[in-house]
Amino acid sequence: MVSIISVAKAAGVSNKTVSRVINGEPYVTEETRERVEKAIRDLGYIPNMAARLIRSSRSNTFGIITDYVSTTPYSVDIVRGIQDWANANGKTILMANTGASSKREAEIWKMFQSHRIDGVLYVTMYRRTVDPEAGDVRIPTVMINCRPQTQELLPSIEPDDYQGAQDLTRYLLDRGHRKIGYIRLNPILLGAQLRLDAFRKTAADFGLAETDLSVRLGMEGPVGAEKNYVFAVATEMLQQKDRPTAIMSGNDEMTIQIYIAAMALGLRIPEDVSIVGFDDFRTVSLALKPELTTAALPYYDLGLEGAELLNSVVAGNKARPSSRVVPCKLVERTSVQSVSLIPSGRNA
Amino acid sequence: MVSIISVAKAAGVSNKTVSRVINGEPYVTEETRERVEKAIRDLGYIPNMAARLIRSSRSNTFGIITDYVSTTPYSVDIVRGIQDWANANGKTILMANTGASSKREAEIWKMFQSHRIDGVLYVTMYRRTVDPEAGDVRIPTVMINCRPQTQELLPSIEPDDYQGAQDLTRYLLDRGHRKIGYIRLNPILLGAQLRLDAFRKTAADFGLAETDLSVRLGMEGPVGAEKNYVFAVATEMLQQKDRPTAIMSGNDEMTIQIYIAAMALGLRIPEDVSIVGFDDFRTVSLALKPELTTAALPYYDLGLEGAELLNSVVAGNKARPSSRVVPCKLVERTSVQSVSLIPSGRNA
DNA sequence: ACACGCGATGTCGACGTTGTCATAAAAATA
DNA sequence: TATTTTTATGACAACGTCGACATCGCGTGT
């Protein structure tokens, strides 16, 4: 392999001078610099990161630990955000999945250490609390889409599920909906409770009674093997005599089933029922007709800001182990209609 | 940082002996081995990969170059397959996305080289031909889900789109369907043509006339900004007097729209129309009711076998620049009904 | 003419590992 | 017992890079 030394020889300078050129240090004549650069080009020299790391003990590498994230369609955007940041800032990314095995997680931490990673981004597919198996390891860590379960506070970045659900509820309220159904996400997910709380609170603040709200559980059970009641529950909800004029659902994936349930009952969307989702999982939200109004989870930004935050932690900004929250953005499409347009007799 | 030397000191042996223990080399007394292992545990020593690499010029690292793959819900399973393999075989994975920028791609190759990567897995989101910007780089490479456009043959692993579509078509034929609609994938995707060919050929071999087949284009345009005609086309297809008893679609995502189109026309699935998808993108195929019969693309296996193949190439098996093809598996669910059960008058 | 400062370059060692070779002790063989 | 082989261990160099420090030459001010 061609090293700094061969380049030095070819350019007729010392290896140190080559090093200077590579790293853009001062005190090199324009003329030598050019000679060295030519030699580098001619020989196709590429710096050896490993040697650099061994010398300077700075790997310029971040590790990503995920549960299933790279495996799941939802939060891949977190990874994309991280990669874009890394790319723009000359960092390298090492990525590994635990597959929810804590033995595997311990191995990953070891692997990261053996690569002398500068910092770790701990990412989960669903927003939840976790207990990193970092052991006695002391690598700067930022949590994305999750928060540490226990004592030791690590900085974290999470989506604002509450605000997202609040916006969505207001949106429906503003359009005259007064009977609203809600099909709940799997309650073991952190976001589920927050979204439900926001829905209830917002509706109550607006003056709706608990009886104006139909709240049903759509899914439950361990992630990856959950029971799915959505279709049945939606069907039941829409068959009520006094059925809701709008249904809000835990996520966009569940919404597919709500659409189908509604249509199977001969209901038109949005003329007969308005529907809103959550996530803006575009494979679904754009494929549904009418296209789905939903709250976009800021996954990409989570990744971007997480990397940025980790970088500042690594750089020494001891910083607050703050828990930052990133807002969701309401994406308005065509699955909601103002209630004044709904024939009034219809709902009786 | 605790190095091999501190361990050696703690155990009262030479650094070389510690190295022997770490690498499981022979010629170490059981007694010393234990002493060294204890020191390692006590000090929390973790080998430094960079130093190891610099000495032995073997990084035990593979690189993954993708276009959008980590970004897209479809083929993340390829990555999972690779990671699982790497995990099981003690390799590290470095991953980077080109985002379809060839400037970026060149940078990535450089980055990979600077990490002295052993080999590269070139992965694309959709099956297509590509022209790797490897430049004069000579890193062993295996292509997954794509094939080299030009002269230089690199080994590649691809899904068997033809066989998948063939199986699906036969499945419908076997169940008595004789009028079949087909909504095409974006024709710029390599799989699109193969699937269509398989559909046509299989139907023709069975004795169907071209007029028994309704073939329509569902999508076109550049990836990421394609035009989507699926809903309109499906609606039109299902309104024909002599409408198909079954519809096959380019992929599961398109199928959502076909379901909705059918239901909006008051058609029941599968009683009035049978539907099959392609991909087994489970977020969709399981969310649809009835659940979707579809052909599973072997993404996970593509990744697994690709990594395996790359490993053997790296190990020196010059091997044939073979183009291996992995079969799709038909996943039978409930969206298809045998045609004998369809009221015969209905279709006239 | 002389010391001085500064820009440009070089020498050398260190980072953590492992490969090569040497050496010492123990075991096998003559 | 002498000699060879085997097992166990260590000394040392080298991998590619960069930091600390040394050197050299040249223009400046006195």
Count of domains forming chain B: 3
Q: What is the CA B313 to chain-centroid distance, rounded?
A: 20
Please tell me the number of Cα atoms within 13 Å of A314 on its side-chain side: 22
Q: What is the DSSP string of A6-43?
A: HHHHHHTS-HHHHHHHHTT-S---HHHHHHHHHHHHHH
Q: How confident is the model at residue B77 (pLDDT cuts 50, 70, 90)?
A: confident
For chain A, the average pLDDT equals 90
Which chain B residue's Cα is nearest to A137?
Answer: B44
> What's residue B347's pLDDT?
43
Residue with tokens 């087949």: B213
For residue A82, which of A58, A106, A65 has the smallest C-alpha distance?
A65
Q: What is the mean pLDDT of residues B138-163?
A: 86
pLDDT in tens, B199-224: 999 999 999 999 999 999 999 998 77
> What's residue A97's pLDDT?
87
Asked if residue B189 and residue B112 are part of one domain, the reply reads no
Report whether the peptide linkage leading into residue B187 is cis, meaning its omega lies within 30 degrees of zero. no
For residue B75, which of B146, B135, B10 has the smallest C-alpha distance?
B146
> What's residue A348's pLDDT?
36
Retrieve residue A88's tokens: 């723009």
Asked if residue A341 has pLDDT above 70, the reply is no
Q: How confident is the model at residue A69 (pLDDT cuts 50, 70, 90)?
A: low
Specify if A56 maps to a domain. no
Residue type, B162: Y
Angle, vertex CA A192, rays to CA A191 and CA A195, nearest 5 = 80
Q: CB–CB of B70 and A53 under 8 A?
A: no
Judged by CB atoms within 8 Å, which residues 296-315 of A form the interface with B? Answer: none
Q: What is the mean pLDDT of residues A334-338?
A: 96
The residue among B92 and A67 whose pLDDT is bigger is: B92
Extended strands (E) in chain A: 61-66, 92-97, 119-130, 141-148, 156-159, 180-184, 213-217, 219-220, 227-228, 246-249, 274-276, 294-296, 323-326, 329-331
| Cβ contact B32:B25 at 8 Å | no
The residue among B275 and B72 whose pLDDT is bigger is: B275
Q: What is the mean pLDDT of residues A123-127?
A: 83
Specify if B326 maps to a domain. no
Phi-psi domain of A53 (left: phi exceeds 0; alpha: psi -120 through 50; beta: other): alpha
Using a CB-CB cut-off of 8 Å, the residues of chain A touching B284 are: 256, 283-284
Asked if residue B205 and residue B343 are part of one domain, the reply reads yes
Retrieve residue A221's tokens: 């059970």
Asked if residue A196 and residue A342 are part of one domain, the reply reads yes
Specify if A71 maps to a domain. yes
Using CA of residue B36, residue B39, residue B44, residue B49, what is the dihedral sign? negative
| Cβ contact B226:B219 at 8 Å | yes
Asked if residue B310 and residue B243 are part of one domain, the reply reads no
Percent of chain A whose predicted confidence (pLDDT) is above 70? 92
Angle, vertex CA A54, rays to CA A50 and CA A58, nearest 5 = 90
For residue B92, which of B122, B123, B50, B150 has the smallest C-alpha distance?
B50
Q: What is the DSSP string of B23-87?
A: TT-S---HHHHHHHHHHHHHHT----HHHHHHHH----EEEEEESSGGGSSSTHHHHHHHHHHHH
Compute the distance between CA of residue B255 and CA of residue A161 in angstroms, rounded to an integer: 30
B47, B228, B256 ranked by CB distance to A114: nearest:
B47
A49, A76, A116 ranked by CB distance to B70: nearest:
A76
Phi, psi of A335 (to 5 degrees): -95, 10
For chain B, the average pLDDT equals 90
Percent of chain A whose predicted confidence (pLDDT) is above 90? 73
Using a CB-CB cut-off of 8 Å, the residues of chain A touching B43 are: none
- Please report, rounded to whole angstroms, the spatial distance between the CA atom of protein residue B26 and the C1' atom of nucleotide D3: 26
Specify if B54 maps to a domain. no
> What's residue B180's pLDDT?
97
SS3 of B21, please?
Answer: helix
Q: CB–CB of B46 and A283 under 8 A?
A: no
Asked if residue A275 has pLDDT above 60, the reply is yes
Asked if residue A70 has pLDDT above 60, the reply is no
Compute the distance between CA of residue A298 and CA of residue B123 in angstroms, rounded to an integer: 26
Asked if residue A122 has pLDDT above 60, the reply is yes
- Please report, rounded to whole angstroms, the spatial distance between the CA atom of protein residue B273 and the C1' atom of nucleotide C22: 83
Residue type, A11: A
Q: How far is CA A28 from CA A33, A35, A61, A130, in A?
A: 6, 11, 29, 52
Please tell me the number of Cα atoms within 13 Å of B116 on its side-chain side: 22
To the nearest whole angstrom, how far is the Cα of A289 from the nearest Cα of chain B? 7
pLDDT in tens, A170-226: 999 999 999 999 999 999 888 899 999 999 999 999 999 999 999 999 999 987 788
- Using the Cβ of B57 and the Cβ atoms of chain A, whether some distance falls under 8 Å is answered with yes
Residue with tokens 């569902």: B218
Asked if residue A278 has pLDDT above 60, the reply is yes
- Using the Cβ of B289 and the Cβ atoms of chain A, whether some distance falls under 8 Å is answered with yes
Question: Does the CB of A22 fall within 7 Å of any strand D atom?
Answer: yes
Asked if residue A285 has pLDDT above 80, the reply is yes
Q: How many angstroms separate the most distant Cα atoms in chain A?
A: 92
Least confident of A189-203, A303-317, B156-170: A303-317
Q: How far is CA B211 from CA B93, B179, B248, in A?
A: 51, 9, 16
A70, A110, A283 ranked by CB distance to B46: nearest:
A110
- For B15, the enclosing helix (H) or strand (E) is helix B15-22
Asked if residue A116 and residue A14 are part of one domain, the reply reads no
Q: What is the mean pLDDT of residues B94-122?
A: 90
| Cβ contact B303:B78 at 8 Å | yes
CATH code for position B12: 1.10.260.40
Judged by CB atoms within 8 Å, which residues 147-206 of A form the interface with B? Answer: none
| Cβ contact A153:A321 at 8 Å | yes
> What's residue B331's pLDDT?
98
Using a CB-CB cut-off of 8 Å, the residues of chain A touching B287 are: 253-254, 256-257
Q: How confident is the model at residue B70 (pLDDT cuts 50, 70, 90)?
A: low
Using a CB-CB cut-off of 8 Å, the residues of chain B touching A261 are: 289
B50, B104, B254 ranked by CB distance to A116: nearest:
B50
The residue among A141 and B323 whose pLDDT is bigger is: A141
Asked if residue A34 and residue A144 are part of one domain, the reply reads no
Which chain A residue's Cα is nearest to B268?
Answer: A264
Beta strand pairing status for B246-249 and B180-184?
A: parallel
Asked if residue A31 and residue A12 are part of one domain, the reply reads yes
Question: Does the CB of B127 fall within 7 Å of any strand D atom?
Answer: no
Specify if B185 maps to a domain. yes
- Using the Cβ of A105 and the Cβ atoms of chain B, whether some distance falls under 8 Å is answered with no
Least confident of A15-24, A37-46, A117-126: A117-126
B92, B253, B283 ranked by CB distance to A253: nearest:
B283
To the nearest whole angstrom, how far is the Cα of A174 from the nearest Cα of chain B? 28
For residue A267, which of B247, B260, B275, B346 has the smallest C-alpha distance?
B260
Q: How confident is the model at residue B154 (pLDDT cuts 50, 70, 90)?
A: confident
Q: CB–CB of A57 and B111 under 8 A?
A: no
Specify if A321 maps to a domain. yes
Asked if residue A195 and residue A243 are part of one domain, the reply reads yes
Q: What is the CA A320 to chain-centroid distance, rounded?
A: 22
Q: How confident is the model at residue B322 (pLDDT cuts 50, 70, 90)?
A: confident
Asked if residue A79 has pLDDT above 80, the reply is yes
Task: Give the dihedral of Cα atoms A86, A88, A91, A93; nearest 10 deg.
Answer: 30
Residue with tokens 């999508």: B219
For residue A144, which of A72, A243, A55, A66 has the smallest C-alpha distance?
A66
Considering only CA atoms, which residue is closest to the C1' of nucleotide D15? B55
Q: CB–CB of A283 and B253 under 8 A?
A: yes
pLDDT in tens, A43-68: 999 999 999 999 988 899 999 998 87
pLDDT in tens, B272-309: 999 999 999 988 999 999 999 999 999 999 999 999 99
Asked if residue B8 and residue B138 are part of one domain, the reply reads no
Q: What is the mean pLDDT of residues B309-333?
A: 86
Beta strand pairing status for B213-217 and B180-184?
A: parallel
Q: How confident is the model at residue A345 (pLDDT cuts 50, 70, 90)?
A: very low
Compute the distance between CA of residue A40 and CA of residue A15 in angstroms, rounded to an integer: 12
Specify if A52 maps to a domain. no
Asked if residue A133 has pLDDT above 70, the reply is no
Asked if residue B335 and residue B193 are part of one domain, the reply reads yes
Extended strands (E) in chain B: 61-66, 92-97, 119-130, 141-148, 156-159, 180-184, 213-217, 219-220, 227-228, 246-249, 274-276, 294-296, 323-326, 329-331
Beta strand pairing status for B61-66 and B119-130?
A: parallel
Using a CB-CB cut-off of 8 Å, the residues of chain B touching A96 are: 83, 87, 93
- Between A and B, how many residue pairs show a Cβ–Cβ distance under 8 A? 146
To the nearest whole angstrom, how far is the Cα of A110 from the nearest Cα of chain B? 7
Q: How confident is the model at residue A347 (pLDDT cuts 50, 70, 90)?
A: very low
Question: Does the CB of A249 fall within 7 Å of any strand C atom?
Answer: no
Least confident of A319-323, B22-26, B33-37, B247-251: A319-323
Retrieve residue A160's tokens: 């604002």
Compute the distance between CA of residue B238 and CA of residue A65 in angstroms, rounded to an integer: 47
Query: For residue B338, what are the domain limits?
Result: 161-297+331-347
Report whether the peptide linkage leading into residue A270 is cis, meaning its omega lies within 30 degrees of zero. yes
Specify if B131 maps to a domain. yes
Asked if residue B340 and residue B231 are part of one domain, the reply reads yes
Residue with tokens 């006590």: B42
Compute the distance between CA of residue B28 and CA of residue B8 in angstroms, rounded to an integer: 14
The residue among B338 and A343 whose pLDDT is bigger is: B338
Q: What is the mean pLDDT of residues B31-52?
A: 95
> What's residue A176's pLDDT?
96
Asked if residue B183 and residue B143 are part of one domain, the reply reads no
Asked if residue B344 has pLDDT above 60, the reply is no
CATH code for position A322: 3.40.50.2300
Beta strand pairing status for A219-220 and A213-217?
A: unpaired
Compute the distance between CA of residue B119 and CA of residue A246 in angstroms, rounded to an integer: 54
Of these ranges, A96-105, B88-97, B164-173, the one predicted with the greatest mean pLDDT is B164-173
> What's residue B71's pLDDT?
57
